[in-house]
């Protein structure tokens, strides 16, 4: 490609926080200038006295490889012929106090494998994408309500080779993508895959925001992974961390010897919780850097969405060092600019807030006073449900409100229901091992938990391993306990999670009206004594409506009456208690006719049996209809 000096307009937009494709201007770009092939380097380092490029091409000696300062704005640039793709490099920065720093390129497209920290010259162009059908379909469906059940994955510990080494992006394009497709998930969400120095940070403490981690291969290899996902009908969501960054010496921290990407004041700069530095979200150049980064992943890697990490940490903190928590006006402006820009480039891209606060209108449009996210994680629902499920069966009646409270606010935002990695690590135990009771009861309650999540309004997210009942909590240095699939209950749990995802995808009532109150109706929310919830999920067509029964007790109920809104014949469409899922095999008869006797404030009633710790779904059908789930 032909590269030129950064234009005055580029520089103007960058300093105004409006250069949203700044990766075309900054970084190391292979190009031809004056008929010479080489690389142009451009860097923002306003406090530096001198900037040079060092690398394996000059034996890490900066002499003769100095960048030129364009003006007092602090942008440095130069072109060096004969440098080529895959050459390693860093910036040598002479600070205002005479110190010398060796820094990785903030805009590097590729990096050395840890523990090495140099940037690598890389040409992102040239990959032959084959996902045109997916991208066109994504645009067509952007205004439509579609099923979304996300599989959250940490690539380094999902599965490892026998020698303990990582699967590559190309290998994961077969192993992981085929697994996710077979299981029925609609999206993969990846824990951060930009470059980071420490495996056990899981990517949340990054140093190379434009550099897909080299642990698993090259940028083109990651493109191949995303491409395969799209060809198989699976969306890709990235965990993305624009709030704080790693303080390792080669990274962004005190980049040119003084605070640059971080706040100047120490009490807001230092993030003591994670040992990181907070991005200065009020600095226009930092907004150009971060918002461009989201556009970059969309542009070069066809990413379908972002889960924005730690939104609560951005929105509220001690801004004045007085011990009081205040709203961060800079974060609000940044998040609105971010969401507005992503929408400008592609309205079909998801932007999901991991926000545990009560900040209102997170998913409302910006022109209505909202932050403009497409979705928000429902952390309140997750905390309430897991607190309830960890109670012994005979104690749950006192905590029944935890299972119903979410419906008071379920439509205040566009929610995703998350059972994420955060809930199965650091001594919190796996989902299976959170369940009380005997070995069999733990599995029954995990099946019930996943069923309840499936039926509750909101899109869904499940962390890897939960689908087959990982018994140990997430071991972030080892892969999942795949050997458990050789044991009957885990194998049955694996089949159950596939079946419940198939039920979710095939029944429009579970997702078609997911964001409107007309899609849900309580039949009986207050039966705390028997620990039973009864409700209706509705689609746009009456025949699609489903009757959902969740029994959170260890008791079996025979001849149990439930109210139903429509007269007719009903079948047990789904039950978590059948034997192939590890249950007792208790079933209702194939067809059950309603009685014209009002019950539960409904005009008709059914008489059914309910297994212990069971998730059961009934549907009104024509007698001749084949019941695929009841076989």
**Are 220 and 126 spatial neighbours (Cβ–Cβ below 8 Å)?**
yes
Spell out a b/e string for 585-619, using b for 16 or more CB atoms within 10 Å of the CB, else e.
ebbbeeebebeeeebbebebbbebbbbbbbbbbbb
Length of the chain: 631
Question: How many C-beta neighbours within 10 Å does residue 232 have?
Answer: 14
Check: CB of residue 600 under 8 Å from CB of residue 607: no
Q: What's residue 48's pLDDT?
A: 97
Q: H helices then E strands: how many in the chain?
A: 15, 31
- The confidence score (pLDDT) of residue 631 equals 43
pLDDT digit string (tens) for 190-205? 999 999 999 989 999 9
Q: What gap in Å lies between CA 470 and CA 611, rounded to an integer?
A: 24
pLDDT tops 60 at residue 623: no
* pLDDT tier at 324, thresholds 50, 70, 90: confident
| Residue written as token pair 């599965």 | 159
Residue matched to tokens 């990274």: 251
Res 219 pLDDT > 70: yes
Dist CA 350 CA 529 (whole Å): 41
Lowest mean pLDDT among 227-231, 487-491, 539-543, 595-599: 539-543
Active site residues: 309, 354
Identify the pLDDT of residue 336: 97
* pLDDT of 268 over the 60 cut: yes
Query: DSSP code of 168?
Result: P
User: For 353-375, what is the mean pLDDT?
Assistant: 95
Examine the pLDDT at 238 and tell me if it is beyond 90. yes
Tokens, residue 188: 């993969």
Residue ranges and CATH numbers for the domains of the chain are 8-120 (2.60.40.10)
336's tokens: 């609105």
Q: Which whole number is the average pLDDT over 243-263? A: 96
Res 590: pLDDT = 85
The H or E element that residue 209 is part of is: strand 208-212
Q: Which of 417, 402, 419 is nearest to 470 (CA)?
A: 419
Q: Taking 80 as the threshold, does the pLDDT of residue 322 lie above it?
A: no
CA angle 602–603–608, rounded 5-degree value: 70
Question: What tokens were used for 473?
Answer: 């909590």
CA torsion sign for 549, 551, 557, 562 is: negative
pLDDT for 321: 67
Which element (helix H / strand E) includes 231? helix 219-231
* pLDDT digits 0-9 by tens, 9-31: 999 999 999 999 999 999 999 99
- Strand, coil or helix: 136: helix
8 Å CB contact between 523 and 561: no
| Calpha distance 571→589 (Å, rounded) | 8
Per-residue model confidence (pLDDT) at position 327: 87
Of the pLDDT bands very low, low, confident and very high (cuts 50, 70, 90), residue 630 is very low
Question: How far is 458 from 466, CA to CA, in rounded Å?
Answer: 19
Residues 6+ apart with CB under 8 A from 356: 312, 377, 379, 380
Q: Is the dihedral of CA 327, 350, 183, 179 positive or negative?
A: negative
**What is the average pLDDT across 518-530?**
96
Q: Report strand pairing: 459-463 vs 415-419.
A: parallel
On whether the CB atoms of residues 577 and 610 are closer than 8 A, the answer is no
**Considering only CA atoms, which of 377, 474, 461, 391 is closest in space to residue 426?**
474
pTM of the predicted model, to two decimals? 0.95
* Residue 464, CB-side half-sphere exposure with 13 Å CA sphere: 24
Q: How far apart are CA 53 and CA 58, in angstroms?
A: 9
- In this prediction, residue 611 carries a pLDDT of 97
Q: What is the pLDDT of residues 410-456, one digit of tens each?
A: 999 999 999 999 999 999 999 999 999 999 999 999 999 999 999 99
| pLDDT tier, 622 (very low <50, low <70, confident <90, very high otherwise) | low
Q: In the chain, what percentage of residues exceed pLDDT 90?
A: 91
* 232-236, 281-285, 313-317, 417-421, range with the lowest pLDDT: 313-317
pLDDT the model gives residue 484: 97
Tokens linked to 105 = 């390129």
Looking up tokens 């890490």 gives: 60
| pLDDT tens digits for range 578-614 | 999 999 999 998 899 999 999 999 999 999 999 999 9
Can you tell me the mean pLDDT for 499-508? Answer: 98
pLDDT band at 326 (very low <50, low <70, confident <90, very high): confident
Strand partners, 151: 188, 462
459 Rama sector, left if φ>0, alpha if ψ -120 to 50, beta otherwise:
beta
Q: What is the pLDDT of residue 485?
A: 97
Under a CB-based contact definition with an 8 Å cutoff, are residues 280 and 261 in contact? yes
Q: Residue 1 pLDDT more than 70? A: no
Return the C-alpha torsion angle 258, 259, 260, 263, nearest 10. Answer: -170
**Cβ density class 537-556: b for 16+ within 10 Å, e for less:** bbbeeeebbbbbbbbbbbeb
Residue 504, CA distances (Å) to 201, 374, 458, 522, 607 in order = 33, 21, 12, 19, 25
Residue 359's nearest CA partner among 386, 333, 332, 341 is: 332
Pairwise CA distance, residues 128 & 142, whole Å: 25
Phi, psi angles (nearest 5°) of residue 76: -115, 145
Per-residue H/E/C for 42-77: EEECCCCCEEEEEECCCCCCCCCCECEECCCCCEEE
Predicted confidence (pLDDT) per residue in 456-477, tens digit: 999 999 999 999 999 999 999 9
Encoding tokens for residue 147? 């099923």
Averaged pLDDT, 38-54: 97
């Amino acid at each position: 490609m032909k590269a030129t000096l950064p234009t005055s307009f580029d520089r103007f937009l960058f300093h105004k926080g409006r250069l949203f494709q700044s990766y075309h201007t900054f970084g190391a770009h292979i190009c031809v200038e004056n008929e010479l092939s080489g690389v142009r380097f451009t860097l923002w380092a306003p406090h530096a006295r001198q900037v040079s490029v060092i690398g394996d091409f000059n034996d890490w000696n900066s002499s003769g490889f100095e960048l030129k300062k364009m003006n007092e704005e602090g942008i440095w640039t130069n072109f060096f012929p004969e440098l080529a793709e895959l050459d390693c490099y860093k910036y040598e920065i002479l600070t205002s106090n005479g110190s010398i720093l060796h820094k990785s390129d903030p805009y590097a497209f590729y990096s050395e494998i840890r523990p090495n920290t140099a940037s690598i010259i890389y040409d992102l162009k040239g990959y032959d994408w084959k996902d045109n059908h997916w991208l066109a379909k994504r645009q067509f469906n952007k205004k439509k309500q579609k099923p979304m059940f996300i599989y959250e994955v940490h690539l380094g510990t999902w599965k490892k080779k026998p020698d303990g080494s990582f699967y590559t992006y190309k290998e994961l394009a077969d192993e992981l993508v085929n697994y996710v497709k077979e299981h029925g998930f609609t999206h993969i969400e990846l824990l951060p895959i930009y470059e980071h120095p420490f495996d056990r940070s899981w990517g949340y403490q990054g140093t190379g925001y434009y550099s897909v981690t080299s642990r698993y291969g090259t940028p083109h290899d990651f493109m191949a992974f995303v491409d395969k996902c799209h060809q198989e009908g699976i969306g890709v969501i990235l965990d993305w961390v624009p709030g704080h960054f790693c303080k390792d010496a080669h990274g962004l921290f005190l980049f040119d010897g003084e605070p640059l990407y971080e706040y100047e004041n120490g009490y807001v700069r230092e993030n003591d919780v994670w040992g990181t530095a907070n991005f200065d979200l009020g600095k226009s150049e930092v907004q150009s850097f971060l918002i461009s980064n989201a556009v970059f992943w969309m542009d070069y890697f066809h990413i379908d969405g972002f889960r924005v990490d730690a939104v609560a940490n951005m929105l509220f903190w001690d801004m004045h060092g007085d011990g009081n928590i205040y709203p961060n006006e800079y974060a609000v402006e940044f998040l609105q600019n971010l969401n507005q820009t992503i929408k400008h480039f592609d309205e079909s891209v998801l932007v999901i807030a991991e926000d545990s606060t009560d900040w209102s209108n997170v998913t409302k449009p910006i022109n209505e006073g909202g932050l403009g996210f497409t979705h928000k994680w429902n952390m309140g629902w997750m905390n309430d449900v897991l607190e309830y499920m960890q109670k012994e069966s005979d104690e749950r009646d006192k905590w029944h409100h935890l299972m119903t409270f979410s419906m008071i606010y379920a439509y205040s935002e566009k929610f995703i229901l998350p059972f994420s990695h955060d809930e199965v690590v650091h001594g919190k135990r796996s989902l299976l091992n959170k369940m009380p009771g005997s070995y069999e009861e733990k599995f029954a309650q995990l099946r019930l938990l996943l069923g309840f999540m499936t039926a509750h309004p909101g899109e869904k997210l499940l962390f890897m391993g939960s689908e087959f009942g990982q018994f140990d909590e997430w071991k972030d240095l080892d892969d999942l306990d795949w050997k458990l699939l050789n044991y009957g209950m885990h194998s049955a749990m694996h089949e159950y999670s596939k079946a419940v995802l198939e039920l979710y995808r095939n029944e429009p009532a579970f997702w078609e009206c997911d964001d409107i109150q007309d899609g849900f109706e309580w039949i009986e929310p207050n039966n705390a004594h028997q620990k039973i919830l009864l409700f209706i999920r509705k689609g746009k067509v009456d025949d699609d409506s489903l009757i959902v029964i969740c029994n959170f007790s260890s008791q079996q109920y025979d001849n149990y009456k439930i109210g139903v809104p429509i007269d007719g014949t009903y079948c047990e469409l789904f039950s978590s208690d059948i034997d192939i899922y590890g249950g007792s095999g208790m079933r209702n008869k194939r067809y059950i006719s309603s009685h014209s006797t009002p019950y539960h404030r409904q005009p008709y009633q059914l008489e059914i049996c309910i297994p212990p710790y069971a998730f059961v779904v009934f549907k009104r059908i024509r007698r001749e209809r084949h019941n695929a789930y009841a076989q």
